[in-house]
Amino acid sequence: MLILFYHVSAHRVLIALRESVMLRTNVNILYQGDLNKLKEAELAPIAILFSGGLDSMILAALLDQCLDSKWTIDLLNVSFDGQLAPDRVSSLAGLKELQRISPLRRWRLVEIDSNLANLKEESEHVMSLIYPSNTYMDLNIGIALWLAASGDGWVNGQDGDRYKHKSTSRVLLVGSGADEQCAGYGRHRTKYRVGGWVSLDEEMRLDVQRIWKRNMGRDDRCISDHGKEARFPFLDESVIRTLLEIPLWDIAKLDEPVGKGDKKILREVAKLLGLQEAAFLPKRAIQFGSRIARESNRKNFGSNRAANLASAGSVEVHKRNH
């Protein structure tokens, strides 16, 4: 009976998320009758900020169900360590899984590679975009988002060639809100361990209440700077309401290991979508998955260890650089 209830809850979330993605990706509405003007190079009207992780894989699978099969879907992945960054590794694995569940779809993984040492002017520009946020963590996230939104990278062709490509997608789907609502952060596990379900519930409600201030403005400005519009399917009112109606112990099971108990409900949604591998991926923030945090720590503090000793997460960027 418990398993059946859990399956029903996951199915409710799946339906709400699918409707949310459909609402935000209706091509006819987005382009207002200009679809015939799209050129061959612009056959991907919608892109996804893509790490190959649980949230972006769910969005990709749902977008595949909502978007006409004639359109390509651009998967935008940023790395500061070439093919070695964790997010690059998982994005390549994620691409294969998406191709397996939807072989007729044209999936295009755009590999956006960068080096922090070559981004002095860009970093200053991003600092102006993320303001009033001003920590190194905010800057790292902002740079990664800004580069990903540019869509300017490389694509591995079917015949093995690698060619330059700049995504012209006008809309970018982002997975913000999934961790806040489904206990995806490490601090959620700590709150649960110390204070149980009541403490966890309080922390998650606080996260959702302050996400607009801590994340949304920063992320939206970094993405819209490239003329793209960020869309956040996990923050749809119906999705939020559906998740709030499900008992918290069915949303997450934090007695279970990382990659299994955290965001448990979304892992079940992934399984319903046929994403068997993605359903077991651990949470990894973009600043760590892309390895920009490591490069930033080395640049500003000499090493990761020195950065940790200096509490880099709370150092104000503007004070450090002026």
**8 Å CB contact between 74 and 154:** no
Find tokens 């040492």 and name the residue: 117
Per-residue model confidence (pLDDT) at position 211:
94
Q: Give the H or E element holding residue 203.
A: helix 186-211
The average confidence (pLDDT) of the chain is: 88
In words, the CATH class of domain 1-25+44-116+148-286 is: alpha beta
Task: Please say whether the dihedral angle defined by the alpha carbons of residues 11, 196, 284 and 237, taken in this order, is positive or negative.
Answer: positive
Per-residue model confidence (pLDDT) at position 42:
52
CA proximity to 218, closest of 144, 305, 273? 144
Q: Using CA atoms, how far apart are residues 259 and 194, in angstroms rounded to an integer?
A: 20
Provide the residue-wise pLDDT of the chain in tens; the chain has 322 residues.
445 556 799 999 999 999 999 999 987 666 655 556 555 445 889 999 999 999 999 999 999 999 999 899 999 999 999 999 999 999 999 999 999 999 999 999 999 999 888 888 899 999 999 999 989 999 999 999 999 999 999 999 888 899 999 999 999 999 999 999 999 999 999 999 999 999 999 999 999 999 998 899 999 999 999 999 999 999 999 999 999 999 999 999 999 998 889 999 999 999 999 999 999 998 888 888 898 888 888 777 655 555 554 444 444 544 444 4
Rounded to 5°, angle at Cα 285 from 279 and 290? 105
Q: Using CA atoms, how far apart are residues 9 and 311, in angstroms rounded to an integer?
A: 40
E-state strands within the chain? 46-49, 73-79, 107-113, 152-156, 162-166, 171-173, 229-231
DSSP 8-state symbol, 32: T
Q: Enumerate the domain spans of the chain.
A: 1-25+44-116+148-286
Per-residue model confidence (pLDDT) at position 313:
45
Amino acid at position 195, single letter: G
Instruction: Give the global pTM.
Output: 0.90
Q: Using CA atoms, how far apart are residues 295 and 282, in angstroms rounded to an integer?
A: 22
**8 Å CB contact between 66 and 18:** yes
